[in-house]
Structure 1
């Protein structure tokens, strides 16, 4: 297990609604803690897959726009994000394209892509003092879990070079089943006038059970099985916010990762039925957590 100590942690973050960019909460506090730790350990950069960029056919793209714009964020004052300077890592992006091509992916650079809140929301909360060199990887619109897991597995080697791998999506993220009234009327995304519905609680717990009790290749198998869970389609009306979980399990589910279990580090419920769970796989010190 000594080799694990050379690997950076991997994060699966539920970015939630746009208001998570501006509101203080347990998740935001944890994101900042993760950013502080990454800076303290001198990361070379961030490799990130979000939930709002996907490619048609069999393609996958990596962002190489040297001066990307930021898509506007609803319900958040521009002062929270407009002046934050993005820091695209073009050399690492081109390297990721070549790594993916070598594994058979129809991968290409996208020199025109502008960043969306699913990624820069997390970066702002993690690194408020300045964005580290960051590489954004798209999803593929067929939403094949094994495809996205292989993307994570392909880029996993960058963990040994002190890059931080992050997936930004959602543990329970069905916009059609959220209760939007308090946010639309009162700008209160954390109002819980009623408890979450049973389907949301059930799938949230299923995610927790898989991540906390499986490591290495078993993690990968467990995560793909979640897409066959009876409440999966209730919890994810579309697959886009779960693909980054597959990406993360690819990056953190190698044989070399056996014995290193994901941990739930923070969580917030929004809009009654959206569960923003924040998971981390591995530690900077390489310590191992045993299953209870």
Structure 2
């Protein structure tokens, strides 16, 4: 089986679950294509769950709840049934342990909006079997790249690998007033600031101009970018991009087409939600859309 595509999604604010956008349209399109190709399940790393010390954790709660989502009506998510994939979770756990990671099962983890927001948008009718891997709180880019590399073989079995975080995601530098006053997360009273535009462009260049191991080097190197700390006050929304680079950056992936920016949605003036697809489905291409 040809390897499935890999995705890096910027999930943005919680309101991305409730409001329509080109990013939401792209997520749905990607989900439809995944179902058309009969994926076996989804392997995800988000931005809101990290394990301390040198640990990794794999979500193994058979009946997980959902953390509440601010500024979104409960009807958008409370009745969506989550489908934890425990057999694949055990496989992923064994793969990580065999690769030398201090990986453990977490049978109490409640799912957070960074992952189920994406699943609801991609697969609104039914959640596919899903395995969630935590980050590690040391946020080492090469560590997380290796995690992606470790689970990469599952692409050849029909699993979809997704990282969710943010291209530009600094909560301290967003303009919150339109959202707090008027529930308008897409208001742009002023253009994005220069640092946000600069880093956003660098993220696009890395994902769209590199393949194979060059992709891994380019993405992990972004954490040394002069505007990185402006764009990411904390590292949690970026290391899932390093995870994705590991899953899509093998020598074999040099034969794939370059990554593509599928959609982009700006929120809160300085938050850039870029959506990237790495690789392609056999015989098809995902049309690009921007907003």
Q: Output the TM-score relative to the length of structure 2.
A: 0.96
1:234 to 199, 216, 230: 230
Correspondence 1:268-287 to 2 at 5 A: 268-285=265-282
2:187 is matched with which residue? 191
1:51 is matched with which residue? 47
1:32 to 28, 39, 51: 28
2:119 to 117, 123, 143: 123
Structure 1's unaligned 5+ residue stretches are: none
For residues 209-228 of structure 1, give each alpha carbon's deviation from its aligned partner in whole angstroms, at most 9, with x where no partner exists.
11111110000000111110
SS at match of 1:240: coil
Moved over 2 A (4+): none
Correspondence 1:243-282 to 2 at 5 A: 243-260=239-256, 261-282=258-279
SS at match of 2:121: helix
Correspondence 1:131-146 to 2 at 5 A: 131-146=127-142
Aligned partners of 2:86 and 2:205: how far apart in 1? 37
1:109 to 90, 105, 109: 105
SS at match of 2:260: strand
Structure 2's unaligned 5+ residue stretches are: 286-291
Aligned partners of 1:107 and 1:175: how far apart in 2? 30
Aligned partners of 2:19 and 2:284: how far apart in 1? 32
1:259 shift after superposition: 4.1
Correspondence 1:218-229 to 2 at 5 A: 218-229=214-225
Aligned partners of 1:9 and 1:209: how far apart in 2? 18
SS at match of 1:171: coil
1:286 shift after superposition: 6.6
Count of residue pairs the alignment pairs up? 285
Aligned partners of 1:286 and 1:39: how far apart in 2? 15
Aligned partners of 1:161 and 1:70: how far apart in 2? 29
1:287 shift after superposition: 7.4
Is 1:21 aligned to residue 14 of structure 2? no
Aligned partners of 1:36 and 1:233: how far apart in 2? 36
2:289 is matched with which residue? none
Aligned partners of 2:47 and 2:157: how far apart in 1? 25
Aligned partners of 2:24 and 2:65: how far apart in 1? 23
SS at match of 1:257: helix
1:196 shift after superposition: 0.1
SS at match of 1:220: helix
Aligned partners of 1:286 and 1:259: how far apart in 2? 15
Is 1:77 aligned to residue 104 of structure 2? no
1:210 is matched with which residue? 206
